[in-house]
Amino acid sequence: MAIEPTTTTAVAAALAERLIGHVIAPEQPEYDSARRLWNGMIDKRPAAIARCADETDVAEAIRFATEHDLPLAVRGGGHNVAGTASVDHGTVIDLSAMRSVRIDPSRRTVHVQGGATWADVDRVTAPLGLATPGGVVSETGVAGLALSGGVSHQRRRDGMTIDNLVSAEVVLADGRRVRASADEHADLHWALRGGGGNFGVVTSFELRLHELGPQVYGLNVAYPIEDAARVLAGWRDAVADAPDELSTAGFIWSMPVDDALPDELRGAPYAGVVGMWAGHPDEGERATRELRELASPLLDMSGPVEYLDFQSSLDPFFPAGVRRYWKALYLDGFSDAAIDTTVDWANRRPSSDTLVIVRHCERSDGPRGRRGRRVRRPQLRVDAQHRLELARPRRRRRQRRLHARVLGRRSPVLGRQDLLQLPRLVRGGRRRRARQLRRQPRPAGLHQGRLRPGQRLPPQPEHPPRRLTRPPPQPARSIP
């Protein structure tokens, strides 16, 4: 009998009949916690959340959404700030029950299911002195991070996460399952490594492993906010020729309001440098000395640390449920004038929790400019967050002005800005290859029908439920 669900309850019930995994409907008590995303600004109400048990469930959920003309979203770790892991009135493929991690010693790779977090991966690999480049907050999902690049603490030595993607198991838009690697569906493999998303649902990633740890050298120094410009300029110059083992960032933020801190530091704004030496801690201590002496530090928390602990050390600073508005771009350079603007606006940022951070991403074999000079193109992020109240319109306006002034396309101070993909910058010199690949047609079977997983959808009407019926059959079109 054909299923014609007309309410959200009916949608969930019809979908549940086809899956082994659990389907959560709006009426169920766990619905609110299941639909919640990391960014507290996002409040979407899907018709059904399909907590898939395996690849067959994923394929079945995709087919269901296509048959019933339902918008579809895919949820890995649910950390995407724009909230693209959910969709109003549609189906969410929630991969949080698919989190297994398995090492393949012969290939020196790790197989990670699409719903795993970086904590799941590090827990398995770190005790063996191995790591694949992942996120710097361990609760972030592997899938969304890997498919959007992946900037890690070891980025300059081992590249981005997508540089380490050996193969992927993908369920395509028509429900077919394929493996993408350098030898099979090579164009899909390329597309997953920075092609912009929407190529299918990745149910498993195979990632290359590198020797790392168990101990590394963690860099984390706080300087007085009054020294911010000097610290950022000193950081920029000190890391320009640093070995690839060292990946760092300069930033402006506020101290937590924490009893462990002296009174005068609680909640105080400061300038800092943070990073990791992906090698022996003794070498890290030597390589970071200059960065620890850029001014007179308020706090220096640097030192040898277990890689596993370092990977989760930032978790408490990025709790779920806070309202956030984040933006980032790549700069052509970081001139003194750009530093002054950044510091000036950072001092007037809309909330004390707002983080302004500049990351050094380029490898030492990265592109060179005129006369063989190294081209420095750091990544600048402005991560606005409001813990206490809903972002008020006035505060939101200030926040947008900050983004426009510091990150806007026509910023007169920061010069021509490079909005290109980081992979290009990290690998350097591969522009032509990337351009050629971008021109290639995408693999057959992708982008079929109306299904575009993860795509931002046009605004939906305020009041569910939408009437969910199959579209009427279209008359066959004849080709003259």
Ligand X SMILES: Cc1cc2nc3c(=O)[nH]c(=O)nc-3n(C[C@H](O)[C@H](O)[C@H](O)COP(=O)(O)OP(=O)(O)OC[C@H]3O[C@@H](n4cnc5c(N)ncnc54)[C@H](O)[C@@H]3O)c2cc1C
Do the Cβ atoms of 4 and 471 come closer than 8 Å?
no
Contact flag: residue 175 with ligand X (CB under 6 A): no
Length of the chain, in residues: 480
Looking at beta carbons only, is 119 or 239 nearer to ligand X? 119
The CB-of-61 to ligand X minimum distance in angstroms stands at 12
User: 86 phi and psi, to 5 degrees?
Assistant: -140, 170
Contact flag: residue 414 with ligand X (CB under 6 A): no
- Contact code string over 342-381 relative to ligand X, x by CB under 6 A: ----------------------------------------
Which of 145-153, 269-277, 292-300, 330-338 is the region at the interface with ligand X (rule: CB under 6 A)?
A: 145-153
The CB-of-249 to ligand X minimum distance in angstroms stands at 10
Looking at beta carbons only, is 19 or 339 nearer to ligand X? 19
Q: Tell me whether strands 48-51 and 91-94 are parallel, antiparallel or unpaired.
A: parallel
Contact flag: residue 323 with ligand X (CB under 6 A): no
Looking at beta carbons only, is 159 or 213 nearer to ligand X? 159
Q: How far is CA 358 from CA 93, 192, 331, 343, 466, in A?
A: 34, 26, 10, 12, 44
Looking at beta carbons only, is 116 or 339 nearer to ligand X? 116
Which one among 8, 84, 132, 167 touches ligand X, defined by CB under 6 A? 84
Looking at beta carbons only, is 140 or 421 nearer to ligand X? 140
Which one among 40, 71, 150, 175 touches ligand X, defined by CB under 6 A? 150
Over the range 377-393, which residues count as b (16 or more CB within 10 Å of their CB) and which as e? bbbbbbbbbbeeeebee
Q: Where are the alpha helices (DSSP H) in 159-303?
A: 186-192, 228-239, 281-287
Which one among 24, 34, 42, 151 touches ligand X, defined by CB under 6 A? 151
Contact flag: residue 447 with ligand X (CB under 6 A): no
- Contact code string over 9-38 relative to ligand X, x by CB under 6 A: -----------------------------x
Q: What is the DSSP string of 34-88?
A: HH--SSTT-----SEEEE--SHHHHHHHHHHHHHTT--EEEESSS--TT-TT--T
377 half-sphere exposure, CB direction, 13 A CA radius: 26
- Both ends of the chain: CA-CA distance in Å? 37
Contacting residues toward ligand X, per CB under 6 A:
38, 73-81, 84-85, 95, 114, 135-137, 140-141, 143-145, 147-151, 201-202, 318, 453-454
